Amino acid sequence: MDSIVVTGGAELRGEIPIAGAKNACLTLMPATLLSDEPLTLTNAPRLSDIKTMTALLQSLGCEVTSMQDGRVLALSSHDINNHTADYDIVRKMRASILVLGPMLARDGHAIVSLPGGCAIGARPVDLHLRALEALGAELDLRDGYVHAKAPGGLKGGTVTFPLVSVGATENVLMAATLAKGTTVIENAAREPEIVDLADCLRRMGAQIDGDGTSTITVQGVDRLGGATHPVVTDRIELGTYMLAPAICGGEVECIGGRMDLVSAFCERLDAAGVNVEETDRGLKVSRRNGRVSAVDVETQPFPGFPTDLQAQMMALLCTADGTSTLHETIFENRFMHAPELIRMGARIDVQGGSATVTGVERLKGAPVMATDLRASVSLILAGLAAEGDTVVNRVYHLDRGYEHVEDKLGAVGAKIERVPER
Ligand code: UD1
């Protein structure tokens, strides 16, 4: 396994291209299961999670062809010959549960392994299952698998989520496109990835209204056709690279960045003393003064501050002037980066879902361990600002969500390299 070595202290200048969104692509790919005509996704990110979803779809009989060095994915579900998503693949990636709704909607049956826990909390799938039941699915949990049937096909219904879930909204939205009648999804997630999925489904012939709001209405159709769809910009990769010049100084333009994708995050950056300017090509970021100011952050479903940027924001606040508080409201165990940042000299006190960060002038490089995707990139960001070398071990998490992080940061002047683990 590789490590990333970062030598802190360099100012960053230049531009970083932002890729298509991992989380959008992971829900757009299973949408192929809704049609027997081809679906082509452009602007796809080149990530190991995409390879895992590819392997899962191929195990069901889908054809997935990666073109233009992985930027374009051509998918076809013409010949589905297996309706079981196996534990061996599902355990690697929770988003695998997203094949359940589409398979069930199209063929009336599916068996999908339960994903199990993960590092950032229990993360159950009960909301996905209750939502599909509201469309008439009959579910049976046996041997760690969900056995789902809808003998006469799914029927439109009202789904009221008790809490906002991105994945459950996506699963039921896909399923509802082929259900008989009208489905109303209340307390739906409003994330840009949901809007992107709805856009793609509309291109395939689905009738969907209200995506981007808390109430989505779907009028079921008999069949969906093929489509070509560009994957929306990755707002989490965008936010991550916006933090790099905020932490190190300099000025970086994130190409393809859009303010509407990261407005709550930009509001917090502004409060901390970081300028974000919209340009023709994206977002240009620089610090107003030498050191950023402490700010409080609370994660919320979109349009609030994203939980997937909380770890990276903490890296920034470790060297802010003053004391910041970060409240994590989405996942119960999402501060695993804190002990690693403390090894670099950060002053952080975690109490339940809150972390208090008292900024220090300078972090110090150290060997650290990445425990999840966003935690690993937060350690790289912290390393960029630290004195000396930071070695981030176990970077396979990083490769799940960031393509060529060392090339992108290296191109704007960061001293960063990938080495075999020491
Ligand atoms: C998605 C993103 C992930 C992001 C998260 C929140 C993908 C592939 N992943 O994950 O990067 O951190 O949204 O923005 O898009 N919950 C339940 N029961 C369920 C489902 C969820 O209790 O059936 C809980 C979760 O444990 C969590 C909360 O709901 O506390 C929100 O999770 P959810 O929005 O579903 O996250 P994911 O879709 O898994």
| Binding site membership of 127 for ligand 1 (Cβ less than 6 Å) | yes
| Gap from CA of 171 to ligand 1 centroid (Å) | 12
* Single-letter amino acid code for the residue at 291: R
Does 92 score more than 60 pLDDT?
yes
First-to-last C-alpha distance (Å) of the chain: 9
Between the alpha carbon of residue 301 and those of residues 59, 108, 182, 212, 355, the distances in Å are 33, 32, 26, 12, 19
Whether 40 and 208 have beta carbons less than 8 Å apart is answered as: no
- Burial call 216-252: b when 16+ CB within 10 Å, e when fewer: bbbebbeebebbebbbbbbbbbbbbbbbbbbbbbbbb
Q: How confident is the model at residue 394 (pLDDT cuts 50, 70, 90)?
A: confident
Under a CB-based contact definition with an 8 Å cutoff, are residues 181 and 109 in contact? no
Which ligand 1 atom is nearest residue 302's CA? 14
Alpha carbon of residue 251 to chain centroid? 25
Residues annotated catalytic, as ranges = 118
Check pocket membership of 126 for ligand 1, CB cut-off 6 A.
yes
Ligand 1 atom index nearest CA of 130: 23
Q: What is the pLDDT of residue 175?
A: 98
DSSP letter, residue 205 = T
Span 279-315, pLDDT tens digits? 999 999 999 988 999 999 999 999 999 999 999 999 9
Q: Does the global pTM surpass 0.85?
A: yes
pLDDT tens for each residue of 132-184:
999 999 999 998 999 999 999 999 999 999 999 999 999 999 999 999 999 99
Q: What is the dihedral of CA 287, 372, 27, 239, to 10 degrees?
A: 0
30 bridge partner residues: none
